[in-house]
A and B are shown apart, each in its own frame.
Chain A
């Protein structure tokens, strides 16, 4: 069975500080990993996926198969980054997403 773990429920940083939201997964195959974000009063939306290797809104995430991690990073946090962030895994069985419990990021001025 697959599982996604986000060990931090809340992460609070000051504006301009680096941010790292942790995500660990357990899955025996080759998963696809995603980060979804939900801003206040908005819908859950895709932030980035590991196969794209893109930087979205300054965020990047690298899949580390050895450590089974997919941590989300940003070198300089902005106040508008404050949101709920969910890591999710697709087990190749047809877009079946398994979500982690989420981390609330608060960026203080």
Chain B
């Protein structure tokens, strides 16, 4: 099993440009999470989906960040426009259900905004 798949693995963009990250969770996992990990820090949750519904997006900067999970499988996280402070690793994770099931993490996308 491939596990959680993320692409791209690395992305370098100039500030004010848009960027999108894609995540394919483990088959059968209903819950999907997007985290942001700044350098030297632990991951911070941005948004959590149960199937196609965003059930917690309180930490998502809604002025420039958006996410979607069409058909309750793949998900896309978008930033438009990107700022220098958005440079980080963006992690996707999935779990079978919400109630304390183990979260499985993808390899992450390292974003550098110049």
Give the interface of A toward B (CB within 8 A). 4, 9, 32, 43-46, 86, 88, 90, 94-102
Name the B residues within 8 Å of A101 (CB-CB): 40-42
A96 and B102 in contact, given A43-B3, A44-B43, A102-B41 (Cβ under 8 angstroms): no
A95 and B103 in contact, given A43-B3, A44-B91 (Cβ under 8 angstroms): yes
Which of the segments B17-25, B70-78, B79-87, B93-101 contacts the partner chain?
B93-101
Bound-state Cα–Cα, A99 to B103, Å: 13
Interface hits, B9-64 → A, CB 8 Å = 31, 40-45, 48, 55-56
What's the minimum C-beta distance from A65 to chain B, rounded to whole angstroms?
18
Give the interface of B toward A (CB within 8 A). 3-4, 31, 40-45, 48, 55-56, 91, 95, 98-108
* Majority-rule SS of B interface residues: loop
Contact A95 B31 (CB under 8 A): yes
- 7 A-B residue pairs with Cβ-Cβ distance under 8 Å, sorted by A, are A45-B104, A95-B95, A95-B98, A95-B103, A99-B42, A99-B43, A101-B40
Contact A45 B42 (CB under 8 A): no
Task: Kindly identify which residue among A4, A32, A86, A94 contacts B98, using a CB–CB cutoff of 8 Å.
Answer: A94
Q: A45-B104, A86-B42 are in contact. List 8 more A-B contacts (CB 8 A).
A: A9-B40, A43-B4, A44-B105, A90-B100, A98-B45, A99-B42, A99-B44, A101-B40
- 9 closest residue pairs by CB, A with B: A99-B42, A44-B105, A94-B98, A95-B98, A43-B105, A99-B43, A86-B42, A46-B102, A101-B42
